[in-house]
Amino acid sequence: MNPMTSQWLRRAFLPAPEVFLFVLIFFLSLAFMPDMLNSDGDLGRHLTVGNYILDTRAVPLRDVFSHTRFDAPLVLHEWLSEVAYALAFRAAGLNGAAWLTAFLLAALYFVLAAGLRAVGVSAPLAFLAALAAYFTAMLHHLPRPHLFSLLCFTTLLVLCELYRKTDKKFWLALFVPVMVLWANFNGAFVLAFFVLGIYAVGAAFERLPQRALIFLGLLGVSFLAALVNPFGIALPQHVFGFMGNRFLVDNTVEYLSPNFHGANTWLFAAWILFSILLLGRNTTRVAWTGIFLLGAWTAFGLYSARNIPLYAQVAALTLFPIAERLLVTRLPALRARLENMNAVAPIASGWTWLVILPALLIFFQAQGARFDVRGSGNVFNNATFPARAVDFLQRQPPQGNMFNEYTWGGYLEYRLFPSQRVFIDGDNDFFGEALVREYLDAINARQDWQGILQKYKVQWVIVPPTRPLAQALAQSDAWREIFRDETAVVFVSK
């Protein structure tokens, strides 16, 4: 065998650590997928919206999914990712949505690990950093459009770091098409403006004015690129408008501060402690850009648990290059060993396994194999969603408008749209503060809850049996119970 063939085979089949990481995370995602599917009620809404777009071949500009805000102006800031999920669902049902989710997660941490290697971190430490970031971010690994956003966010960080390392503007230019996609994938595209602003300020503090201007220029170009969407300037206005509404933000669970009494936040706390110890013991100068990035995203992570996955990407990219420099300074003999490991498996070598192993997992799962730890398969279970109640409603469909549990809105759309439209779903930035307040008053049987149901001409109600509204309806002569199990109770107006 000639040397060129041998080198090609090694490059194709000897897996680098980041390739192994891709396959590992793809498998782990399938193993935990049923829990991910049943941890959040929004996937059903995203599938419904995506299917509607595919059916009509148009992005709706007015609401068709609820009866409370029917025909109101609608800004679907996740429409492209919803189409992607709908296509996956049409191909293979919930298994298809699961495979897309697993691929996005695997690709995300592959990009992080490969990016760390590209900026000089050795293969084993890049693998450990990305794996630690994966476990830290697991608290918000859900089959939702924000995974596209996480991937774009990490791509931006890697490209900015490559530019800082090589001073080649080519890396930054690659981000422009990514930004166009990001603006259509998820409303969190506005994070790009914050990140690029931090890089510009960091470059200014590092006395690199030309670099600062380049980052500011990319920020401007990225803003223009973000306007390539079906809603134009209304899209960023909508996103910033929601973030400025304290009531809506404070009443969205994932935007609340992390609870450090829960084990799922301990790795985040460990990262913070690691950063304090590392920067305290480090004797070499740390660039202002890294300090600003880490400081900002530590604050964002403490403010909102939703930001912890973003923090994990920033922490890995800023802390591990410093950690490796400190490590090889204290242990000089280690440098040669790390360099040898890099030489054995160059970045992304063994790429064939990225195709072969996930394809095999998909093939066997399509044939009925179950890889999840619970052995339940990828289904919406009745313990979380009113599956049996909806089965009943499909056999005996009620007439008129519904009132529904907030977290069930997406699932009800998934099962009942278009024959029924929801009262509210997880898209509270669309429904607005006034309607969310009315929902909270009604579901908790506060104040004029009966007047709220009458205002929206509600003829039937589906809520958990433990809700105050369910107890109030059970005591009312104007309502009749037609279904009850441990998850849901359904009432119809007499």
Q: What are 310-343's pLDDT values in tens digits?
A: 999 999 999 999 988 888 888 787 777 777 777 7
Q: What percent of the chain has pLDDT over 90?
A: 74
pLDDT tens digits, one per residue of 164-198: 999 999 999 999 999 999 999 999 999 999 999 99
9 pLDDT more than 80: no
pLDDT tens digits, one per residue of 103-127: 999 999 999 999 999 999 998 999 9
Which stretch of 56-60, 273-277, 337-341, 386-390 has the lowest confidence by average pLDDT?
A: 337-341
pLDDT of residue 330: 81
pLDDT of residue 184: 96
Residue scoring higher pLDDT (308 or 10):
308
Average pLDDT over residues 283-307: 91
8 pLDDT more than 60: no
pLDDT band at 212 (very low <50, low <70, confident <90, very high): very high
pLDDT of residue 333: 77
pLDDT band at 456 (very low <50, low <70, confident <90, very high): very high
pLDDT of residue 472: 95
pLDDT band at 210 (very low <50, low <70, confident <90, very high): very high
Average pLDDT over residues 2-27: 78
Residue scoring higher pLDDT (376 or 31):
31
Average pLDDT over residues 239-258: 73
2 pLDDT more than 60: no
What's the chain's average pLDDT? 91
Average pLDDT over residues 362-384: 90
Q: What is the 3-state secondary structure (H, E, C) of the chain?
A: CCHHHHHHHHHHHCCCHHHHHHHHHHHHHHHCHHHHHCCCCCHHHHHHHHHHHHHHCCCCCECCCECCCCCCECCCCCHHHHHHHHHHHHHHHHHHHHHHHHHHHHHHHHHHHHHHHHCCCCHHHHHHHHHHHHHHHHHHCCCCCHHHHHHHHHHHHHHHHHHHHHCCCHHHHCHHHHHHHHHHHCHHHHHHHHHHHHHHHHHHHCCCHHHHHHHHHHHHHHHHHHCCCCCCCHHHHHHHHHHCCHHHHHCCHHHCCCCCCCHHHHHHHHHHHHHHHHHHHCCCCCCHHHHHHHHHHHHHHHHCHHHHHHHHHHHHHHHHHHHHHHHHHHCHHHHHHHHHHHHHCCCCCCCHHHHHHHHHHHHHHHCCCCCCCCCCCCCCCCCCCCHHHHHHHHHCCCCCEEEECHHHHHHHHHHHCCCCCECCCCCHHHHHHHHHHHHHHHHCCCCCHHHHHHHCCEEEEEECCCCHHHHHHHCCCCEEEEEECCCCEEEEEC
Any idea where the domains of the chain sit in the sequence? Answer: 14-358, 387-493
Average pLDDT over residues 229-250: 81
pLDDT of residue 312: 96
Average pLDDT over residues 73-95: 95
283 pLDDT more than 80: no
pLDDT band at 276 (very low <50, low <70, confident <90, very high): very high
